[in-house]
Amino acid sequence: MPDGSLFRPGDNCWRLSRADDFAILVDADDYFSAIRDAMRSARQSIFLVGWDFDAGITLGRPDVDDGAPRKVGEFIIWLARHNPDLKVRILLWSPALLASWMRPSNFPYLLRWKWHPRISVKLDGKHPVGSSHHQKMLVVDDEIAFCGGIDVTLDRWDTRDHLDDNPLRRRPSGRLYGPWHDASSRFTGEAARALGELCHMRWRRAGGNDVLKAPSKTPVKSTPTSGFSFGSVTLAIGRTEPTHLDESGVIEIEKLYVDMIAAARTLIYAESQYFASRKIAQAIARRLAEPDGPEIVLINPVASDNWLGALAMDTARARLRESLRRHDLNDRFRMYHPVTAQKQPIYVHSKLMIMDDEIVRVGSSNMNNRSMRFDRECDVAFEAGDCKELRRRITDFRTDLLAEHLGVPAGTLAHEAARSGSLIAAIETLRKSQPGRTLILYATPEVSDLEKWLADNEILDPEGPEEVFEPIERRGLFRGRLHLPRLRRKREG
């Protein structure tokens, strides 16, 4: 472990492993194409681990034409037919009657794969009541690995343009869906083998047989076909695993979030589907109370994409944001939402954080209680250390991401940030000058008494399995140091 590293194996990460090449893939246009290419290159083994899955979607660009079937269900069968040495293992969360396999597009494939000698599917329901298996991982030949926030399912594909009217952005049924922003990672080498080991552990835990890995016959192609490449880095792999039966809980992901927030000197940039974690809010509040702490910029969707998320996560976000106002005496916290040229909300599903342009993390964990302690998650992170070139690449990546949201060239954002000496000031200047695609400020909504009660008592976003059965009077979003002022409708700034 390098001197001064924030990563501590066994505490805020599982292990450290070297990646020969590490890249972040922004949006599913790149991700679906990259995993399609990787799966086509597979010689012996494909491990797909997911939260949701739909066999009817196109794997790759919707108009892909490479000689193989477009639909992922048929594509997997095609791969096995064309390679007699290939074994495909698919491990998915099984939430009983709510399982995705009840969909008409999935059930026929479950039956076809069940009888295929080299395609195995496990539906994993081994978790506490109310919990989920939320990891999104793919490992090919234990040599190429993907880890992030993108499931191979409906409504995920989009390009970085996030056009208002993209005819390719449609479900297999033909129904159009809205713009979607997401992120994942691709890496090779020792780190890929480590993620493969994690997949094997999940597989055995779900009742699968031990996976015997044959020695590699040929070196793997190490150069990614897409994405933002950072070259060779040492990856920290972090997990969340809930306490269940005789298994102890693992909170490496939560610890790394808190450690990164505590260590930041100048800037924290984050994208998350939710902002509802009490532990993360407390860590942010402590930094905002400092006279010279970092600026914190958080990119969220305007609202959750389902009624349950709106009831639980959006309400908790409103309560936490209002509570943080009293700590933000120096006006260093902003929460924004990306919108299209016609001001249509772009749904933010990515889960990533960049600290001081020195540490980057990406994975499946959201900033909510479930991801910290209750669901099963996996994130990866790396540090620039003393490498100036790697720090420059991180700066370029962060600038590129934010410039995409603002609808401006990356150079324009970099110039304005340098001129003002503040990323928040640069965002405020540029977003107000953009007639088209841009970022809008979070506005605290009105919250009903029922929604307040649900959020305050963490009914739908518990911190762990023990809290599901904990008396109401001992639960609550704001127990501890955070105290809530009266809610009011107020914009940032």
Taking the alpha carbons of 414, 421, 350, 192 in that order, is the dihedral positive or negative?
positive
Q: Is there a contact between 297 and 269 (Cβ–Cβ < 8 Å)?
A: yes
Q: In whole angstroms, give the CA distance from residue 157 to residue 166.
A: 11
Looking at domain 235-474, which of 3.40.50.20, 3.40.50.720, 3.30.870.10, 3.10.129.10 is its CATH number?
3.30.870.10
Q: Report pLDDT for 444.
A: 85
pLDDT tens profile 175-185: 999 999 999 99
Q: Report pLDDT for 448.
A: 65
Tokens representing residue 328 in the block: 């933000």
Q: Report pLDDT for 98.
A: 54
Q: Report pLDDT for 320.
A: 87
Q: Report pLDDT for 305.
A: 83
Q: Report pLDDT for 318.
A: 87
pLDDT tens profile 406-415: 999 999 999 9
Q: In whole angstroms, give the CA distance from residue 138 to residue 144.
A: 8
Q: 19 - beta bridge partners?
A: 233
Chain CA centroid to CA 182, Å: 7
Three-state DSSP class for 29? helix
Q: Is there a contact between 333 and 488 (Cβ–Cβ < 8 Å)?
A: no
Residue spans of the chain under pLDDT 50: 1-2, 97, 214-215, 217, 222-223, 450, 453-454, 457, 459-460, 465-478, 480-491, 493
- DSSP state letters, 92-138: EE--GGG-GGGSTTTHHHHHHHHT-TTEEEEEE--S-TT--B---EE
- DSSP state letters, 407-464: TS-HHHHHHHHHHHS-HHHHHHHHHHT-SSSEEEE-BPPP--HHHHHHHHTTSSS-SS
- Structural domain boundaries in the chain: 20-232, 235-474
The residue whose two tokens read 């972090």 is: 238
Q: Report pLDDT for 486.
A: 39
Q: Report pLDDT for 304.
A: 87
Domains 20-232 and 235-474 share a fold: yes
CATH hierarchy code of domain 20-232 = 3.30.870.10
Identify which of 104, 101, 107, 108 has the alpha carbon closest to the alpha carbon of residue 51. Answer: 101
